[in-house]
Amino acid sequence: MFSKISNSWQLVKASAAVLAADKELMIFPIISAIGTIIVTLTFAFPLILSGFFEGVFGGLGQIVGFLVLFVFYVVQYFVIFFCNTALVGAALIRLNGGDPTVADGFRIALKHAPSIAGYALIAATVGIILRWLSERGGMIGRLVVSLIGFAWNIATYLVVPVLVMEEVGPVEAIKRSASLLRKTWGEQLVGNFGLGAVFGLVTVLLILLMVPLIAAAVALQNLILIGLVVITFVMAFILLGLVNSALSGIYAAAVYNYAANGKTGDFFDPEIIKHAFRSK
């Protein structure tokens, strides 16, 4: 257990070293977050209307709802994948000895926009199918769908770095991603939760700190103090999520470098990357 915790911390430190060298990489998850919020707000009203149509028109309204949801998935995924591609592209430049800029990242993303759109379409199709199956499968069905979704996430883990580096289409990128994982670490993924574990622990610590501070502010009946405490912790959680997103993208870039080229650059110890995944 302690070795896993130590390994997780080493992953965080290595990813953070890359982020410290290129702090502008934080811009990509920030833009991604803003973009997803805008897309969500844009589709909120049509999604609400689709629920109304379902009540009025029955099955036809349900079809409209799924169509709206599908378009929402496509647009949302495109925004996320576009920003992830920019982040991973810039991170790969750094890992390979270069000095990337924000413009470099977006240039890479724009270059691969058609492939990103194709991958967003595939991911949205998978997402809508899994959602439809989950809503109709009962508890056991939802468990099976969750396992399928987990397998999909594993298979597509390296899709974005593949799109950046190998100039292939989305279908080939998915195949290549799955192939790289099988080739390097076997069929069963048991690691890659290092960053999630560390940030999960930090989140729990923040919650444990937040509860007594809010309780104290409430006890003092000071609305200004309550507001300041709440705003401070909301901002802390947002910042934590953005940093986690940036470090996850950097780590994915390092994993791809190791899987495809056998190297990770000066920031990552190859043994750390290797042991984040384990064969059956």
Q: What is the mean pLDDT of residues 58-86?
A: 84
| pLDDT at residue 189 tops 60 | no
Neighbours of 32 (CB within 10 A): 22
Residue whose pair of structure tokens reads 């470099």 in the numeric block: 104
| pLDDT at residue 190 tops 50 | no
Q: Which two tokens stand for residue 2?
A: 């302690």
Residue 67, H or E segment: helix 59-95
The model's confidence at residue 115, banded by pLDDT at 50, 70 and 90, is very high
Q: How confident is the model at residue 61, as a pLDDT?
A: 58
The model's confidence at residue 4, banded by pLDDT at 50, 70 and 90, is low
Q: How confident is the model at residue 2, as a pLDDT?
A: 52
Q: How far is CA 55 from the centre of its chain?
A: 34
The model's confidence at residue 193, banded by pLDDT at 50, 70 and 90, is low
At 176, the amino acid letter reads: R
Please give the Cα distance from 116 to 232 (Å, whole number).
36
Task: Tell me what the pLDDT averaged over the chain comes to.
Answer: 82
| pLDDT at residue 51 tops 70 | no
pLDDT in tens, 14-37: 888 888 888 899 999 999 999 999
The answer to whether 263 and 27 have CB atoms below 8 angstroms apart is: no
The answer to whether 126 and 132 have CB atoms below 8 angstroms apart is: no
pLDDT in tens, 139-152: 777 788 888 888 88
Q: Record the pTM.
A: 0.82
Q: Which two tokens stand for residue 125?
A: 């199709």
| pLDDT at residue 196 tops 80 | no
